[in-house]
């Protein structure tokens, strides 16, 4: 059996060399992680961008080839389905994106960015003619307040819920829960929740068809967890049954897919 390396000094004290090396390596790792975090959140990463954006979804825009994730809010994913006031399914994720496009109306945005997220998108607060777009999304019911800045937008979420605006007009799943939904996922709403909401929003049949005719890209995860998207016309596309793909989702554009960590299928 191999024994741990031990060194003894002239004073008679001994040190376990292997253990000391592990401590040093661990300390170096922590220092590197702290340095990386400081870099991501430092003022060096802060900046200001202005221009008429390309709106990818309710959470993300692009100005001058810089992708900006609206911070402090969570809009529904473009594949997300909600229930309206009558318990009927509707494509709330696509609607949230389209309402943001309509509100933007080609106007110039001013975005203040501070740091980046896990997908290397800049995190920012954006304004249209002085109006806080992040706050508008929550106040209009097209996004929820979330993250470290959620206190800033919580009052707007209350306004939206009491006014049955946007998502709050019926029942829905919080966007952060939608991405990892299962049979125990909670469904919320400002009013009553339909008795069949679980089956409508969590059943496997939900993935049978795309949420919108424009959202035809199939996203699937392989055995290693790598996320791959398949375009109509590719050889693999027709072979994929979305109802049998755990972690699968419909995507509306290649820009959306690539900005959130999906890789295009080889064929």
Condensed to tens digits (0 to 9), the pLDDT of residues 239-255 reads 999 988 877 899 999 99
28-42 pLDDT tens trace: 444 344 334 434 444
Mean pLDDT of the chain: 84
Q: What is the pLDDT of residue 148?
A: 62
In SS3 terms, the chain reads as CCCCCEEECCCCCEEEHHHHHHHHHHHHHHHHHHHHHHHHHCHHHCEEEEECCEECCCCEEEECCEEEEECCEECCCCCCCEECCCCCEECHHHHHHHHHHHHHCCCCEEEEEEEECCCCCEEEEEEECCEEHHHHHHHCCCCEECCCCHHHHHHHHHHHHHCCCHHHHCEECCHHHHCCCCCCCCCEECCCCCCCHHHHHHCHHHHCCCCCCCCCEEEEECCCCCEEEECCCCCCHHHCCHHHCCCCEEECCHHHHHHCCCEECCC
- The whole-number pLDDT of residue 2 equals 37
The pLDDT of residue 10 is above 90: no
pTM here is 0.77
Would you state the pLDDT for residue 244? 85
Structure tokens at 238: 């027709």
Please report the pLDDT score of residue 138 as a whole number: 97
Is residue 15's pLDDT more than 90?
A: no
Kindly list the structural domains of the chain, giving each domain's residue range(s) and its CATH number in brackets, ordered by start: 6-41 (no CATH), 45-202 (2.40.50.90), 214-267 (no CATH)
Looking at residue 150, its pLDDT comes to: 55
Exposure of 228 by Cβ count < 10 A (0-12 exposed, 13-18 middle, 19+ buried)?
middle
Most confident of 8-12, 140-144, 190-194: 140-144
Predicted local distance difference test score (pLDDT) of residue 149:
54
CB 77 within 8 A of CB 99: no
HSE-CB of 75 using CA atoms within 13 angstroms: 33
Predicted confidence (pLDDT) at residue 18 exceeds the cutoff of 70: no
Asked whether residue 26 carries a pLDDT value surpassing 70, the answer given is no
Asked whether 88 and 194 are in contact (CB, 8 A), the reply is no
Residue of 222 and 85 predicted with greater confidence: 85
State the sign of the Cα–Cα–Cα–Cα dihedral 120, 125, 129, 132.
Answer: positive
- Which of 174, 169, 220 has the alpha carbon at shortest distance from 201? 174
Q: Can you say whether the dihedral through the CA atoms of 260, 261, 266, 267 is positive or negative? A: negative
Q: What pLDDT does residue 72 have?
A: 94
Report strand pairing: 263-264 vs 227-230: parallel
Tokens of 19: 């253990």
Tell me the pLDDT band of 205, cut-offs 50, 70 and 90: confident
Q: What average pLDDT does this structure show over 22-26? A: 39
Q: Which band of pLDDT confidence, cut at 50, 70 and 90, is reported for residue 206?
A: confident
Q: Over the stretch 41-70, which tens digit does the pLDDT of each residue have?
A: 444 457 899 999 999 999 999 999 999 999
- The string of pLDDT tens digits covering residues 83-119 is 999 999 999 999 999 999 999 999 999 999 999 999 8
| pLDDT value of residue 23 | 36
């Amino acid at each position: 059996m191999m024994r741990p390396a031990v060194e003894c000094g002239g004073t008679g004290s001994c040190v376990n060399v292997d253990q000391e090396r592990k401590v040093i390596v661990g300390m170096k790792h922590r220092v590197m992680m702290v340095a990386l975090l400081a870099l991501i959140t430092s003022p060096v990463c802060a900046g200001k961008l202005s221009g008429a954006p390309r709106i990818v979804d309710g959470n993300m825009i692009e100005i001058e080839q810089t992708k900006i994730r609206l911070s402090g809010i969570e809009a529904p994913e473009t594949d997300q389905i909600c229930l309206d006031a009558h318990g009927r399914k509707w494509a709330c994720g696509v609607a949230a994106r389209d309402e943001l496009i309509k509100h933007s109306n080609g106007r110039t945005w001013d975005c203040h960015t501070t740091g980046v997220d896990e997908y290397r998108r800049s995190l920012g607060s954006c304004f249209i003619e002085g109006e806080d777009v992040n706050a508008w999304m929550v106040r209009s019911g097209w996004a929820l307040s979330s993250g470290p800045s959620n206190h800033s937008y919580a009052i707007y979420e209350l306004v939206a819920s009491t006014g049955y605006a946007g998502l709050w007009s019926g029942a829905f799943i919080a966007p952060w829960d939608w991405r990892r939904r299962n049979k125990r996922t909670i469904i919320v709403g400002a009013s009553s929740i339909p008795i069949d909401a679980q089956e409508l929003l969590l059943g496997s049949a939900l993935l049978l068809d795309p949420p919108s005719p424009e959202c035809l890209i199939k996203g699937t995860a392989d055995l290693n967890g790598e996320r791959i998207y398949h375009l109509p016309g590719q050889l693999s596309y027709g072979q994929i049954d979305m109802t049998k793909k755990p972690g699968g989702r419909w995507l509306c554009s290649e820009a959306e897919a690539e900005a959130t960590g999906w890789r295009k299928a080889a064929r």
